[in-house]
Amino acid sequence: MSALELSAAIRSKEIAVVEAVSAYVESAKQNKHNAFITLNEEYALKQAATVQKRIDGGEVQTPLVGVPIAVKDNISTAGTETTCASKMLSGYKPIFSATAVEKAEQAGMIVIGKLNMDEFAMGGSSETGAYGAVKNPYDVSRVAGGSSGGSAAAVAAGEIPLTLGSDTGGSIRQPCSFCGVTGIKPTYGAVSRYGLIAYASSLDQIGTIGRNIDDCAALLSIISGADSKDSTCIIDKGFEFPEKSAESNGLKSLRIGLPRNYFKKGIESQVKEAVLKAAEELGQAGAVVEEFVMPYMDYTVHAYYIIACAEASSNLSRYDGLKYGYRSGSARTLSEVYRLSRSEGFGLEVKRRIMLGSFVLSSGYYDSYYKKALQTRAMIKSAYDELFKRFDLIISPVAPTTAYKIGENISDPMKMYMGDIYTVSVNLAGLPAVSLPCGFDENGLPVGFQLIGDSFSELKLIKAARVYQQRTGFHNMLATEFAAERERS
């Protein structure tokens, strides 16, 4: 069942909430893909009983009431360990929950556990965390993508119907592409970041991952909206999306831009073919698809990593071995507490980004690097503003490749960083985007594409994604079913 179908069955008394939660808890316990870090069975079952009483009493009848959910481990959950997959935060239990988690629980959803990721969301493969690599459910020898790899893999494996992830430079969209599931990265400011442990504050955004666009949109409508605890959350009220029957007119008069320079070099031929077929499908649904050249493509990754690492070096300075989190047992002086705690508590990729960020912010280099990156960011946003005068949406690949082998690229950071070439500009401009599965390569690995919209154009994105998924079936098969079918054939 999809999440919406499960909730409908719960509300019609076909399935009890405890029954649904127990089934997913048992599935998550197996953790075949190392997607879960923490599983809170006792809390989940207690919450399930409470939600059942609320349903029976007519207190709550939301579209996702009774549905189990899991949360990326950089999103705070009161009383449940939240580690960012880092030794530095081992044992840390927040005293409050993120606003997005609170809204989900108020709507009658049940959080069953926390999901694996790249350490402090720094990575594109979910290999850099302290709890080991997340395995792709389509091929366990391959990465699940990152940094929200656990969030995508758990959905793809059928271990949970919906998850919350975070997207700083493609961290929802890329693992969705690698794992064959659907994800939404909302407009910056549409979902509160309160309780999201910061990597790069001007880029981070909480989003949703599920099997199909309707499940993701339903969860987004719950978690979006104003929050007095987050001054960057500027939306007045949560999104409201129409029923899918309203999309029967297709995409008539919708203008979609296709950046032809995204398909010139560095992209695998089968990824290119699948994304172009998706564009063709949208054209057959009534959209007008027109090619254009995406400006500043050669500068986006460079600007992104300078800005993201600069913000990370500032945000992570609070982890000093004194207030909370990991403290080295070998430290004998205050200086050693700082040095050893951070040396032992952070992993290699986090250290690399802190050092890069500190360098670009340092005296003598600030103007040469950080200031120019900010100027480039402004130019990228301005370019998107001009493009959205011509187009309603932009279609592009999510990643230049399908999922690669675990360990294959981890020692080559430049190669890993260039894998973000199609996604980071969206975060630099604060725009919304959806990632949708659109095919498979010769190895049976999923391919995804993304639709990008102007700020707060989520309604257009959901409509286009819904029409595409009504016309195709790539989102309907779980990885476990695909694997079983491949073994039979």
Here the CATH number for the domain that contains residue 130 is 3.90.1300.10
- Indicate the pTM of the whole model: 0.96
Q: What is the pLDDT of residue 243?
A: 74
Residue 164 lies in domain? 3-258+389-488
Q: What is the pLDDT of residue 489?
A: 65
Work out the pLDDT band at 136, boundaries 50, 70, 90. Answer: very high
Q: How far apart are the C-alpha atoms of 33 and 478, rounded to whole Å? A: 14
Residue 248 pLDDT > 70: no
Position 271 in a domain: no
For the segment 127-137, the average pLDDT, to the nearest whole number, is 97
DSSP H or E stretch at residue 221: helix 213-223
Position 423 in a domain: yes
The H helix count followed by the E strand count for the chain is: 16, 13
Domain count, the chain: 1
**What is the residue-averaged pLDDT of the chain?**
95
- Measuring CA to CA, how many Å separate 244 from each of 51, 154, 358, 459? 27, 25, 48, 12
Q: How far apart are the C-alpha atoms of 107 and 466, rounded to whole Å? A: 23
Position 69 in a domain: yes
Q: What is the pLDDT of residue 324?
A: 81
Position 466 in a domain: yes
Q: How far apart are the C-alpha atoms of 62 and 375, rounded to whole Å? A: 44
Digit-coded pLDDT (tens) for 46-85: 999 999 999 999 998 899 999 999 999 999 999 999 999 9
Position 216 in a domain: yes
Report the sign of the C-alpha dihedral through residues 479, 208, 194, 71, in that order. Answer: negative
Work out the pLDDT band at 299, boundaries 50, 70, 90. Answer: very high
Q: How far apart are the C-alpha atoms of 27 and 474, rounded to whole Å? A: 23
Residues with catalytic roles = 72, 147, 171
Position 171 in a domain: yes
Position 84 in a domain: yes
Position 300 in a domain: no
